[in-house]
Amino acid sequence: MTELIPLSKVHAIEAQEEIRRKLRLVETTWVEATIMFLNFKSREYYRPLGYDTFDAWLEAEIAESRSSIMAKLRVVGNLMNTVPLHVLQDIPITNCKALLKVPESKRAGMVERARTLPIKEFAELVGTVPGNSLKGEEGKVYITYCFTVSGMVLVDAAIDKVIEEHNCSRGSALELICGKFIGEV
């Protein structure tokens, strides 16, 4: 068995920082890909490829989950009118999602912090902004259901469609679907 050679703390810190740089790169290149998705969808490039809908193309051709891509499309769609795209590219997606919780009137003052603060610190800061949509939430209950694969595809598609139409969370989308089913919405 080979022995591990102890590294100095300096080398460990350098390695840690390199990992953080690479993760930040992954966290920020999502905007470019999302803009490409928006363009692909709006120009209906999926049609010449034999697909009737963007969703059908997405499901057949792209490995990333549909809900993940739709979430990114919503984030960029909601922020691109208030945050320049070249700035948005420097903000990790998690911070962009948190930025959406800030009232639009206060969002401009938070953009630089979204770009520079670590994810946890930015989330804590958003929690202190008056009028943020994190405050006043009801207590949450977490429930697990078991579906067949085809049933899960159907449930995911319904939830994603409601999210796209109402710009809400997955939980809120499911509440809307259930409310409509029992006639309370």
Q: Looking at the structure, do residues 129 and 150 belong to the same domain, yes or no?
A: no
Q: Is 63 part of a structural domain of the chain?
A: yes
Q: Is 73 part of a structural domain of the chain?
A: yes
Q: Looking at the structure, do residues 166 and 104 belong to the same domain, yes or no?
A: no
Q: Looking at the structure, do residues 39 and 55 belong to the same domain, yes or no?
A: yes
Residue 44: per-residue pLDDT: 92
Residue 184: per-residue pLDDT: 56
Q: Which two tokens stand for residue 134?
A: 């994190």
Q: Which two tokens stand for residue 133?
A: 């949509």
Residue 52: per-residue pLDDT: 94
Residue 163: per-residue pLDDT: 84
To which residue do tokens 């029992």 refer? Answer: 182
List of the chain residues with pLDDT < 50: 136-139
Q: Which two tokens stand for residue 94?
A: 């998690």
15-36 per-position pLDDT tens digit? 778 887 887 777 667 888 888 8
Question: Could you give the CA distance from residue 148 to residue 175 in angstroms, rounded to a whole number?
Answer: 21
55-77 per-position pLDDT tens digit? 899 888 988 777 788 888 888 88
- Containing domain of residue 89, as a range? 10-134
Q: Looking at the structure, do residues 18 and 44 belong to the same domain, yes or no?
A: yes
DSSP, res 21: H
Residue 138: per-residue pLDDT: 46
Say how many domains are in the chain: 2
Q: Looking at the structure, do residues 120 and 174 belong to the same domain, yes or no?
A: no
Q: Looking at the structure, do residues 148 and 185 belong to the same domain, yes or no?
A: yes
